[in-house]
Structure 1
Amino acid sequence: MKYFLIFALSIGFYQVSLSQEIKFDNPLAEERADPWVHKSDDGTYYLIATVPEYDKIVLRKSETINGLKDAEEKVIWTKHEKGVMGHHIWAPELHNIDGTWYIYFAAGEAENIWNIRMWVLSNTSKNPMKGKWKEEGQIKTSIESFSLDATTFEHHDKRYLIWAQNVRGGAHGTGLVLSEMESPTKLKGSEVVITEPELSWERMKYNVNEGPAVIKHGGKIFVSYSASATNHNYCLGLLWIDENADLLDINNWHKSPGPVFYTNEDLKRYGPGHNSFTTSKDGKTDVMIYHARDYKEIKGHELSDPNRATRARVLKWTESGFPDFMQNEGD
């Protein structure tokens, strides 16, 4: 892993952005964490996210991002009463691969709620709000351990999966692992750890790297990820790699020395994280979807607090080709 202090300087060369041309009706969804927005080929937006009861998967659709706010929400899958997929239904993502819809999500067992693994649903209906969702089973990894937050992307005619996993056991926490996929439900080849929580801002209360999201720009592949506990310490870090480099060689990956998006008390934005990326209706503007709270103090455990809300904001790019998360600007 390479750390570049020059990254801290590069984010200072912002494009002129005194105001955002696109405005969002935030929050887009109250009590919806780990949000993932999928924009289909016909321009329809779908929002899928974690619900505070951790017991089901819900989906919304709209012709616009702002329309997701008042869109009807449908429960498309409910947890099992016993056994696997019986608790902690977390961080679903919706993907369309070769005409089939897939949902990647994390789930614990009803009798062992922290025995969390990655699971897949599929649906061949043209509209993911309709049709029947089939349980495809667990995504098996080489190490059988706590794993979650799977995301998939295609590059140079190969499909990859990035996920968070406890690869060292115990208090070491979760790092991000990358592997090529044999199919939308099966990995193949090596599984490479591309980041672990080594820096102080990744180790606040818990040692966490999770929630990866991929965006390509200017000859690079960027992976944002979330770090630390899901309270006000939650924040985004950034990885990047040249698009022509070997993705499975960890020496080709670079990591930001500090968080790129984090709590801003002046804006009442606390613990922003677990984001996804989409584009504006015309496809010309990148948009970040994320969750945050509007207050700092949490009663009880942070996972028991329901008020992580889904928000959207324009993503700008610096002159040096890096994403500008506009830390000091509101949505």
Structure 2
Amino acid sequence: MTEFNVNNPLIEQRADPWIYKHTDGYYYFTASVPEYDRIELRRASTIQGLTDADAKTIWVRHETGLMSANIWAPEIHFIDGKWYVYFAAARTSETKDGLFDHRMFVLENSSANPLEGDWIEKGQVKTKWESFALDATTFEHKGIRYYVWAQKDPEIVGNSNLYIAEMENPWTLKGEQVCITTPEYEWEKIGFLVNEGAAVLKRNGRIFISFSASATDFNYCMGLLTADEDSNLLDPRSWNKSTDPVFTTNEETGQYGPGHNSFTVSEDGSQDIIVYHARNYKEIEGDPLYDPNRHTRVQAIVWNEDGTPNFGVPVPDTKPVLNSK
């Protein structure tokens, strides 16, 4: 039995959680706040320490225009000696349509400690279309930096697909963008046709990209893309998608709508950790996007004999314990 000794929920009312362990020994945490109006950052020397760590606001939405509403899903990365935060933002609007007017943006900080120094707006990450785009992440592989994100293709029915492209620098894409998954299975199309919230894990000679699907209520769940590390990651044929969801609501453990995850490692580096949000109740009044109780949770990943990750079931609101295979 593998025990990962952290109490869940790790941080209440923080959706789309991102935890990054840096070479300085600190864990850095950011996530969507219920007000969707700012980006916060906190750090601690342990994962559990993030629970009570001070949250510093590093950026606040604009009053009007771009980046003025619905600040969603920030991620913090360290690239070539500088810190970058990727996030999505919409424009203020008198109509509900403004809710889905998101574009993707980047902040940069050259300080050693990202809770200090200045965060500079590097602007919008421009893609093929001016359409709904969000949930960007980035990773490096064999000397090439890639960008993975969710976007609405005006020619495809649905809300968002996942795309990958090479990066010229941390805020500019290079070359063609490639679609690597569209919602096709029933579990990806409940409420909305959604593929979003990508997170990358490189292990065992493969590149894994987890993603979330369907509406943000109890139907929200995770799928998995897999590519060989020696394959052409810009070729859609290199990516194989799970036919079934890999992480879903579990009524027995009282966890609903797990998803929009990230990955980190335990303090000693021996365990891979999945970081995700979920609610502890099923029925929601009103729009799920405005229900604030998607809490940040973590648990250890078990690795199957074939080298693929096994996320198990979202554990109850107690100390996470997973059975190893």
Code of the residue aligned with 1:120 in structure 2: it is V
Question: How far apart are the structure 2 equivalents of 1:167 and 1:104?
Answer: 21
Query: 1:285 and 2:271 equivalent?
Result: yes
Unaligned runs of 5+ in 2: 321-325
Residues 177-230 of structure 1 deviation map (CA, whole Å, 9 limit, x = unaligned):
000000000000110000001110000000000000000111000000000000
CA contact (8 A) 2:201 2:263 kept: yes
Query: 1:158 and 2:144 equivalent?
Result: yes
- Give the C-alpha shift of residue 168 in structure 1: 3.5
TM-score norm. by structure 1 comes to: 0.93
Secondary structure of residue in 2 paired with 1:300: coil
The number of aligned residues is 313
Equivalence for 1:318: 304
Mapping 1:199-278, distance limit 5 Å: 199-278=185-264
Question: How far apart are the structure 1 equivalents of 2:109 and 2:179?
Answer: 30
Secondary structure of residue in 2 paired with 1:267: coil
Secondary structure of residue in 1 paired with 2:135: strand
Secondary structure of residue in 2 paired with 1:103: strand
Residues 43-85 of structure 1 deviation map (CA, whole Å, 9 limit, x = unaligned):
2001100001100001110000000011111111110011000
Question: How far apart are the structure 1 equivalents of 2:252 and 2:238?
Answer: 37
- Give the C-alpha shift of residue 115 in structure 1: 1.5
Question: How far apart are the structure 1 equivalents of 2:306 and 2:78?
Answer: 32
- Give the C-alpha shift of residue 170 in structure 1: 7.3
Equivalence for 1:131: 117
- Give the C-alpha shift of residue 20 in structure 1: 2.6
Equivalence for 1:86: 68
CA contact (8 A) 1:25 1:69 kept: no
Residue identity over aligned pairs, in percent, reads: 54
Mapping 1:38-53, distance limit 5 Å: 38-53=20-35
Secondary structure of residue in 2 paired with 1:303: helix
TM-score norm. by structure 2 comes to: 0.94
Question: How far apart are the structure 1 equivalents of 2:269 and 2:9?
Answer: 22
Secondary structure of residue in 1 paired with 2:89: strand
Query: 1:140 and 2:122 equivalent?
Result: no
Secondary structure of residue in 1 paired with 2:16: strand
* Root mean square deviation, CA, Å: 1.1
CA contact (8 A) 1:80 1:110 kept: no
- Give the C-alpha shift of residue 327 in structure 1: 2.1
- Give the C-alpha shift of residue 114 in structure 1: 2.6
Code of the residue aligned with 2:275 in structure 1: it is I
Unaligned runs of 5+ in 1: 1-18
- Give the C-alpha shift of residue 265 in structure 1: 0.3
Question: How far apart are the structure 2 equivalents of 1:142 and 1:251?
Answer: 21
Question: How far apart are the structure 2 equivalents of 1:329 and 1:72?
Answer: 26
- Give the C-alpha shift of residue 104 in structure 1: 0.2
- Give the C-alpha shift of residue 171 in structure 1: 4.6
Q: Decide which of 71, 75, 82 is 1:100's aligned counterpart.
A: 82
Code of the residue aligned with 1:39 in structure 2: it is K
Residues 128-157 of structure 1 deviation map (CA, whole Å, 9 limit, x = unaligned):
111110011000001111000000000010
